[in-house]
Structure 1
Amino acid sequence: MARAGLSTERLVQAGAELADEVGFDQVTVSALARRFDVKVASLYSHLKGSQDLKTRIALLALEELADRAATALAGRAGRDALAALGNVYRDYAREHPGRYDATRLRLNPETAAASAGGRHSQMTRAILRGYDLAEADRTHAVRLLGSVFHGYISLEAAGGFSHSEPGTQETWEWILDHLDGLLRSRPTP
Structure 2
Amino acid sequence: MPRAGLDRATVVDLALAVVDDGGSTGFSDLTLAAVAARAGVAVPSLYKHVAGLPALRREVALVCIEEYDAALRSVRADHSGADLVPAMARAIRDVARRSPGRYQAVQGAAWVHDPDAHAVREASVRVVDRIADAVAALGIPDDRRIDAVRAVRAAVHGFVVLELDGGFGMPDDVDTSFDFLVTGLVGGLERLSVR
Fold shared per TM-score above 0.5: yes
My pick for the range that moved more, 102-111 or 152-161, is 102-111
* Match 1:55 to one of 58, 61, 72: 58
Match runs of 1:8-47 below 5 Å: 8-22=8-22, 23-47=26-50
Cα RMSD of the aligned pairs, angstroms, is 1.8
Instruction: Give 1:77 deviation, angstroms.
Output: 2.1
* Aligned amino acid, residue 181 of structure 1: G
Instruction: Measure how far apart 1:132 and its partner are.
Output: 1.5
Choose from 84, 101, 124 the match for 1:117.
124
Letter in 2 for 1:66: D
Question: Is 1:128 matched with 2:138?
Answer: no
* 1:1-189 correspondence runs (5 A): 1-22=1-22, 23-105=26-108, 106-109=110-113, 111-112=117-118, 114-161=121-168, 163-186=169-192, 188=194
Q: Which amino acid aligns with 1:107?
A: W
State the AA in 2 paired with 1:168: V
Once the two structures are superposed, residues 87-113 of structure 1 have per-residue CA deviations (whole angstroms, 9 ceiling, x without a partner) of 111111111111111112221455256
Tell me: CA distance 1:112–1:173, structure 2 relative to 1, closer, same or farther (3 Å): farther
User: In structure 2, how many angstroms separate the alpha carbons of the residues matched to 1:18 and 1:187?
Assistant: 44
Paired residues of 2:138 and 2:193 also in contact (CA < 8 A)? no
Judged with a 3 Å threshold, the aligned counterparts in structure 2 of structure 1 residues 67 and 27 are, in CA distance, closer, same or farther, namely same
Cα distance, 1:28 vs. partner? 0.7
Farther off after superposition, 59-68 or 86-95: 86-95
Amino acid paired to 2:103: Y
Greater alpha carbon shift after TM alignment, 104-113 vs 88-97: 104-113
CA distance in 1 between counterparts of 2:157 and 2:118 reads: 18
Shift of 1:137: 0.3
| Structure 1 unaligned regions, length at least 5 | none
Distance (whole Å) between structure 2 residues aligned to residue 139 and residue 103 of structure 1:
19
The residue identity in structure 1 corresponding to 2:9 is E
Q: Percent of aligned positions with the same letter in both sequences?
A: 29
Give the Cα–Cα distance (whole angstroms) in 1 for the partners of residues 138 and 178 of structure 2.
20
Equivalent-residue separation in structure 2 for 1:79 and 1:129 (angstroms)? 10
8 Å contact from structure 2 (residues 2, 45) kept in 1 = yes
Distance 1:14 1:115, change over 3 A: farther
Task: Find runs of 4+ consecutive structure 1 residues off by over 4 angstroms.
Answer: none
Per-residue CA distance 1:125-157 (angstroms, 9 max, x = gap): 111122222111000111111101111100100
Distance 2:94 2:190 in 1: 26
- SS of 2:107's partner is coil
TM-score, normalised via structure 2 length: 0.89
